[in-house]
Amino acid sequence: MDEIRIERLRIYAHHGYFADEKWNGQYFEVSVILKLPLQDAGVSDAIANTVDYAAVCEYIAAKMTEKTFDLIETVAEFLADSLMDQYEAVREAVVEVRKPDAPISMEVSYVSVKVTRQRHLAYVAFGSNLGDSRALIQQAVDLVDQDRRCKVLEVSPIRKSTPYGGVEQADYYNGVMEVETYYEPLMFLKCLQEIEIKLGRKRKVRWGPRTMDLDILLFDRMVIDSKELIVPHPDMQNRDFVLLPLSEIAPYLRHPLLHKTIGELLEDVKESHMEVPSEPKGGHRASQSGYVVDPKDIPEEAKTQHKGNEVPMAGTSGTGNPQSNDSYVYRGKSKNILTKKF
Ligand code: A4P
Ligand code: MG
């Protein structure tokens, strides 16, 4: 991808583990690579179509002196976070913080830390069958969106499903959200697990009842096979309560290992746990009957944010456009349209 580079910007700041580093300060050198599409700027010769590098330098200088950190790791992370937040067009930021005068009693040119942060697209399944599930799902989506490193882009319709996995328990409420994040996969998992705990999750019975389960289904097209994290989710292809909502927000997605689209995987599922909406033709879409949405709970503004013509709801007579996409564009960062939506 195209990139803008800033090399060794010298800034006097007060970071360091030792008290005199914090007190006296020292020079740091910051180098940054911002990766973003630049063809439009190149063709148009318009600064509005790029990132102004002079403004970036000033922004970095302001951030370097805004706070005091012990570690240059934290300085680099803070700068990367700040740049990703400030410049939406930037897909990837590489930030290197050098300390030429690090307190080391040997001759050394500099010590440095370099971090690379990039925007990823993740799909997260949520499920709840304990407590006030609808409110808990609302909170889970909001908490993900409120994390500075995450932005919820879209939320599928949420429906009831019968329990899967052989444990006798109450019905679930399930759905899927699309999240842009610049967490790396394990840190994203950690973020989701903290939200599960915040929402009262206790791990007792495997596949047993829970206030909130947040599972990573897909993370870009990555394949991860570690002790803590398996992506794509190893059982997603067997779960209609995951594939149906996922097919409604990302029908074009192709499973990176099974090489089938989500719609094709849904057609292959053997067990049925979620009521499949009555289908006009082709692809799965939300029907009125499957929705857990109470029409009274939907504010007018939420209806106008809806991508289709009408918000599909439980108990209505099916007057919506049958071809409409029934998912929601989540406006959490700018506007909380999900409030009372489910
Ligand atoms: N882990 C590995 N890969 C992932 C991933 N892609 N996403 C690890 C999230 N976590 C992942 O999960 C156990 C460990 O899996 C984590 O520590 C993480 O490091 P857990 O949530 O602590 O425990 P669990 O309940 O044993 O497993 P899991 O996978 O969350 O449960 P399931 O498989 O999702 O089953 N029926 C219906 N209708 N709807 C449901 O939502 N959910 C379950 C739970 C059972 N039946 C259901 C539903
Ligand atoms: Mg889980």
Q: Are residues 94 and 179 located together in one domain of the fold? A: no
120: enclosing H helix or E strand: strand 120-128
User: What value does the mean pLDDT of the chain take?
Assistant: 85
Q: Are residues 221 and 297 located together in one domain of the fold? A: no
What ligand has the least distance to the C-alpha of 227?
A: 1
Task: Report the nearest atom of ligand 1 relative to the CA of 206.
Answer: 26
Residue 48's pLDDT is: 95
Residue 178's pLDDT is: 98
The tally of domains found in the chain comes to 3
pLDDT in tens, 79-102: 999 999 999 999 999 999 999 998
Residue 236's pLDDT is: 98
User: Residue 42's Cα: distance from chain center in Å?
Assistant: 31
Q: How far, CA to CA in Å, does 99 sit from each of 60, 106, 123?
A: 16, 14, 39
pLDDT in tens, 141-150: 999 999 999 9
Most confident of 102-111, 222-231, 271-280, 325-334: 222-231
Q: Are residues 306 and 199 located together in one domain of the fold? A: no
Q: Are residues 108 and 61 located together in one domain of the fold? A: yes
Q: In this model, does residue 68 exceed pLDDT 80?
A: yes
Q: Are residues 113 and 131 located together in one domain of the fold? A: no
75-112 b/e with 16+ CB inside 10 Å = b? bbbbbbbbbbeebeebbbbbbbbbbeeeeeeeeeeeeb
Helices 185-198 and 133-146, packing angle to 10 deg = 140
Please indicate whether residue 99 is annotated as part of the active site: yes
Q: Report CA(213)–ligand 2 centroid distance (Å).
A: 5
Residue 275's pLDDT is: 83
DSSP 72: H
With respect to residue 167, please indicate whether it lies within any of the assigned structural domains.
no
Query: Which CATH number does the domain housing residue 204 bear?
Result: 3.30.70.560
Residue 237's pLDDT is: 98
186: enclosing H helix or E strand: helix 185-198
Which carries the bigger pLDDT value, residue 292 or residue 189? Answer: 189
Please give the backbone phi and psi of residue 250, each rounded to the nearest 5 degrees, phi first. -150, 65
Instruction: Kindly state the tokens that stand for 109.
Output: 């040119």
**Binding pocket residue ranges, ligand 1, CB within 6 Å:** 127, 161-165, 172, 174, 189, 203, 206-207, 213, 215-216, 228-231, 233, 235, 241, 273
Q: Report CA(249)–ligand 2 centroid distance (Å).
A: 21
Q: Are residues 41 and 89 located together in one domain of the fold? A: yes
Q: Are residues 333 and 304 located together in one domain of the fold? A: yes
Query: Which CATH number does the domain housing residue 59 bear?
Result: 3.30.1130.10
- For the segment 16-26, the average pLDDT, to the nearest whole number, is 95
Ligand 1 pocket test: which of 169, 207, 217 has the largest number of ligand atoms within 8 Å of its C-beta?
Answer: 207
With respect to residue 284, please indicate whether it lies within any of the assigned structural domains.
no
Q: Are residues 247 and 137 located together in one domain of the fold? A: yes
Report the alpha-carbon distance of residue 325 to residue 301 in Å, rounded: 18
What ligand has the least distance to the C-alpha of 236?
A: 1
Q: Are residues 188 and 114 located together in one domain of the fold? A: no
With respect to residue 166, please indicate whether it lies within any of the assigned structural domains.
no
Residue 202's pLDDT is: 78
Q: Are residues 70 and 139 located together in one domain of the fold? A: no
Residue 208's pLDDT is: 72
pTM equals: 0.84
pLDDT in tens, 124-172: 999 999 999 999 999 999 999 999 999 999 999 999 999 998 888 899 9
Residue 66's pLDDT is: 97
Residue 331's pLDDT is: 57
Residue 102's pLDDT is: 87
Q: Are residues 132 and 259 located together in one domain of the fold? A: yes
Catalytic annotation, pick one of 63, 99, 151, 160: 99
The whole domain housing 46 covers: 3-118
Domain boundary among 209, 237, 268: 268
138-154 b/e with 16+ CB inside 10 Å = b? bbbbbbbbebebbbbbb
With respect to residue 316, please indicate whether it lies within any of the assigned structural domains.
yes
Residue 279's pLDDT is: 55
